[in-house]
């Protein structure tokens, strides 16, 4: 990928028309591809046969190496944390057999067999403690295991839900510095996930990376706490925000101008047909911390801020924009109120749509290549007008998605690009 990869992304992020639509796959943990599909794509494009690295084991996402990125026309390079969602580092690769393919996993990716053939995985790779993730016998990724201890209301302490938010370690700073420099050298735009800035992300609440998490760690209990223990949640978010900004100051000095966008938060606010909270609750409970964080980033860096939220979030977009988010992902057009024409017309000059290129619930996994092509061309036509669009699917490409459909998607993007040159 030439240096123009970054150029087209930066133009899109600044709402300028681009000669072609920038493409992201693998830049974040919500724009990735399941390891089985990465293996299939490598074979389809005739690339060197070698095991794919599972760099994000929670969702079993495969690492897209440079040869596949070039084959797919990818314009974005991701910078990821040193540790995975299960708390062990991405290093010391070892082989692992997974659903009939050979993959590589980090050295502390340690599993045991559970009941009914489930696969259990452990925080920090420590099999002497309770497992923190489970992959069902016929599953393709892990779910967190809730390890909520009985809650004593009189002893409930917000500090318990802050255990994972600490001053960034020197080895993590060195990791980010090295990763950001390497990413910048590719000529692609760089999006970084530094961590610590997701307020109430439900994937993180159970803390699969901690050996013995304390506080409120049950998903349902956390959602109820946003109503019944709101002051507790405010105290968690407030201190988390303090620590995040302190860490970002150190990271900013370390990575310099090597980053174009930062994955700020993956907290979901929408369901398929509704939302997890009202707009007033969002503005009272979440808005102040997002605004403070985004204002610091915009005041001190050139980074654009990336907000991930699945589902029907049209009602929140004005608030997302007001509190400083530059980018919305995954743009779930199949959810209520998320018509792409409406979204582009109402918000397209104020927020970048990073995703929405094709439906991953029905069309991409179950449609024909012709149906995939048709939807991709339609979405590109709508979202690319006047810039402000980075092509990606609606969330990660899931296991068992036909490789011919993924190729049809890439070919359709290229077809559209050729039609507008």
Q: Give DSSP secondary structure letters for 147-207.
A: -PPPP-GGG--GGGGGTT--PPPHHHHHHHHHHHHHHHTTTSEEEE---S--TT-TTTTT-
In the numeric block, which tokens belong to residue 154? 């009189």
In the numeric block, which tokens belong to residue 122? 């452990």
Query: What value, to the nearest 5°, has the Cα angle with vertex 216 and ends 210 and 221?
Result: 130
Q: Is the pLDDT of residue 419 over 80?
A: no
- The whole-model pTM stands at 0.96
CB-neighbour burial class of residue 322 (10 A; exposed 0-12, middle 13-18, buried 19+): middle
Whether 264 and 240 have beta carbons less than 8 Å apart is answered as no
Distance (Å, rounded) from C-alpha 397 to C-alpha 32? 6
In the numeric block, which tokens belong to residue 161? 């839900």
pLDDT of residue 4: 73
Whether 269 and 311 have beta carbons less than 8 Å apart is answered as yes
Strand partners, 112: 120
Residues in the chain: 421
Strand partners, 389: 353
Q: pLDDT category, 420, cuts 50, 70, 90?
A: low
The angle that helices 170-184 and 230-255 make with each other, rounded to 10 degrees, is: 60
The rounded mean pLDDT for the chain is 96
Give residue-wise pLDDT tens across range 318-364: 999 999 999 999 999 999 999 999 999 999 999 999 999 999 999 99
Backbone angles phi, psi at 136, to 5 degrees: -60, 160
Domains and CATH numbers, the chain: 4-30+72-85+147-420 (3.20.20.210)
The percentage of the chain sitting over the pLDDT mark of 90, rounded to a whole number, equals 96
pLDDT of residue 358: 98
Distance (Å, rounded) from C-alpha 183 to C-alpha 190? 6
């Amino acid at each position: 990928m030439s240096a123009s990869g970054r150029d087209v992304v930066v133009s899109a992020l600044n709402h300028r028309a681009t000669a072609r639509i920038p493409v992201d796959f693998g830049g974040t943990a919500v724009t990735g591809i399941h390891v089985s599909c990465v293996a299939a794509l490598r074979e389809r494009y005739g690339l060197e046969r070698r095991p794919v690295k599972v760099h994000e084991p929670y969702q079993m996402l495969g690492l897209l190496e440079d040869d596949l990125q070039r084959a797919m026309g990818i314009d974005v390079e991701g910078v990821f944390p040193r540790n995975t969602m299960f708390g062990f580092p991405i290093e010391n690769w070892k082989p692992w057999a997974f659903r009939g393919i050979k993959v590589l996993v980090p050295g502390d990716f340690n599993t045991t067999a559970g009941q009914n053939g489930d696969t259990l995985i452990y925080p920090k790779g420590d099999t002497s403690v309770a497992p923190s993730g489970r992959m069902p016998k016929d599953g393709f990724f892990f779910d967190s295991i809730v390890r909520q201890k009985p809650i004593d209301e009189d002893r409930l302490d917000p500090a318990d839900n802050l255990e994972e938010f600490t001053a960034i370690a020197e080895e993590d700073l060195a990791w980010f510095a090295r990763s950001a420099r390497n990413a910048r050298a590719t000529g692609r735009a760089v999006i970084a996930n530094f961590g610590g800035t997701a307020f109430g992300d439900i994937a993180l609440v159970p803390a699969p990376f901690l050996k013995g998490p304390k506080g409120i760690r049950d998903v349902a209990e956390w959602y109820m706490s946003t109503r019944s223990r709101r002051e507790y949640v405010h105290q968690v978010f407030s201190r988390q925000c303090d620590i995040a900004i302190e860490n970002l100051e150190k990271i900013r000095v370390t990575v310099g101008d090597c980053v174009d966008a930062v994955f700020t938060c993956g907290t979901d606010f929408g369901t398929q047909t509704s939302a997890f909270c009202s707009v007033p609750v969002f503005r009272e409970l979440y808005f102040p911390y997002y605004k403070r964080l985004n204002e610091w980033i915009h005041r001190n860096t050139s980074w654009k801020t990336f907000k991930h939220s699945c589902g029907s979030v049209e009602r929140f977009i004005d608030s997302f924009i007001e509190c400083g988010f530059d980018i919305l992902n995954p743009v779930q057009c199949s959810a209520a109120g998320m018509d792409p024409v409406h979204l582009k017309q109402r918000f397209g000059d104020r927020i970048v749509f990073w995703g929405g290129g094709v439906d991953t619930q029905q069309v991409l996994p179950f449609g024909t290549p012709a149906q995939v092509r048709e939807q991709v061309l339609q979405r590109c036509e709508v979202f690319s007008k006047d810039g402000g669009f980075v092509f990606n699917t609606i969330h990660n490409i899931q296991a068992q998605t036909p490789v011919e459909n993924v190729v049809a998607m890439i070919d359709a993007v290229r077809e559209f690009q050729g039609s507008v040159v």
